[in-house]
Structure 1
């Protein structure tokens, strides 16, 4: 079952990881081994969580990479579902 309008994983990173630790974007990016621009794009919902970023986050915050990828997948799927009726798809059935 899809969550209703799930947050972008970047919001989760900011609210549950960076803010409680008092980390700036610059400090977090350095710890993750990515550029500030890369992390900022994720935090601002302009980029998604890649498998590599999921692994980086899992190491830095002692979480699972799968949880980050699942959040990204749920976010993307919910937004795609909002346009389901616009898709031109025919149902296939056995003859």
Structure 2
């Protein structure tokens, strides 16, 4: 079952990982081996968590890559579900 309006994983990263540790975006980007622009896009919900970023985060924060990808998937699926009625899809049945 999908969570009601799950947060973007960038919001989770900011609020549960960076802020409690007092880590700046610049310092986190350097530690992750990505540009500040790339990390900022994730933190601001402008970019999603890619498999590569999930691995980077799992190494940096001792978490699983799957947890980051699951958060991204839940976020995207919830937003896609909001447009379910607009999709012009018919059920397929055996002939």
Identify whether the pair has TM-score above 0.5, normalized to the shorter chain: yes
The ranges of structure 1 where at least 4 consecutive aligned residues each deviate by more than 6 angstroms after the TM superposition are: none
> Match for residue 25 of structure 1?
25
2 CA distance for matches of 1:63 and 1:77? 22
Q: What per-residue deviation string (whole Å, max 9, x for no partner) do you get for residues 13-43 of structure 1?
A: 0001000110000000000000000000000
2 CA distance for matches of 1:80 and 1:35? 29
Aligned residues: 95
> Match for residue 87 of structure 2?
87
1 CA distance for matches of 2:36 and 2:61? 18
TM-score using structure 1 length: 0.99
Q: What per-residue deviation string (whole Å, max 9, x for no partner) do you get for residues 35-66 of structure 1?
A: 00000000000000000000000000000000
- Gaps spanning 5+ residues in structure 1: where? none
The two structures, once aligned, show a CA RMSD in angstroms of: 0.4
- Gaps spanning 5+ residues in structure 2: where? none
1 CA distance for matches of 2:12 and 2:63? 13
Displacement of 1:94 in angstroms is 1.3
2 CA distance for matches of 1:22 and 1:33? 18
